[in-house]
Amino acid sequence: MFKLGLVGEKLSHSQSPQIHREIMSKHEVDGTYELLEFSRETFAKDFNNLKNSGYRGVNITIPYKETVLSLLDEISEKAKYIGSVNTVSFENGKAKGFNTDYHGFVALLEHYDVVVKGKGAVILGSGGSAKAVVTALLDLGIYDLTIVSRGKHSFHGNYTISYEFYKEAKTKNDILINCTPVGMYPNVDASPLPKEDINTNVVIDLIYNPQKTLLLQYTEELGIRGISGSLMLKEQAVKAHEIWNGNENI
């Protein structure tokens, strides 16, 4: 039996168990998928305990996609380059990390026919998901990239700017991508940007619960195309199962 799970801090909003159980049912895989809430104080100990507890693998979510790196025995080249891991496989007491967020995001762009080559994009957030998105955009030929964050960071030579600076600049861009958890259930009345600061052609909100965040409600009111992160969640889950089934060519 496959024993799988999702590791995070607060998981009441997660739709991952349903998605993974559907994948296992479709492929007639006998397995379980559980929610594993670990506190920041005990994360390292709790994660290391998973290595020999019968789990075949786990997904990693907020806030541990970067923290987990130091606890892994191996990291795929892609995940190492991205600097973030959201999928881990366990074998013989060892843990290997992968990044399937990258694949999920690329699949989302392809599904919705969002062309990024030669375009300008703004990324809200600087966590693990943002790193995967930034890497994918650069690989796909994004022309101009702005990363907005509350802290100072640098990804592949791109330095972050503050929300205050972004609001003052009022720069027009082609694609706005929310990689923060702002607006996620249960805090559904929050948005990473006020309505008046949304100046773009397409908004992608990686949040999938709720399906229509306040940010996406704003885009609808402004007549801007809005896309939720639901499909990305499903696609990265499919890729995770390929890894757990032994296909590690990613």
Please give the positions annotated as active site.
65
Of 139, 157, 42, nearest in space to 147 by CA? 157
Number of other residues whose CB lies within 10 A of the CB of residue 164: 10
Query: Would you say 155 and 131 are in contact if contact means Cβ atoms under 8 Å apart?
Result: yes
Phi, psi values for residue 181, rounded to 5°: -85, 10
**Strands 154-155 and 87-91, sheet pairing:** unpaired
| Separation CA 244–CA 165 (nearest Å) | 43
| Separation CA 68–CA 179 (nearest Å) | 19
Sheet holding 225-228, edge to edge: 154-155, 158-161, 144-148, 120-124, 175-178, 202-205, 225-228
Q: 């168990």: which residue's tokens?
A: 17
| Separation CA 232–CA 15 (nearest Å) | 12
Query: Would you say 99 and 85 are in contact if contact means Cβ atoms under 8 Å apart?
Result: yes
Query: Would you say 38 and 46 are in contact if contact means Cβ atoms under 8 Å apart?
Result: yes
SS3 231: helix
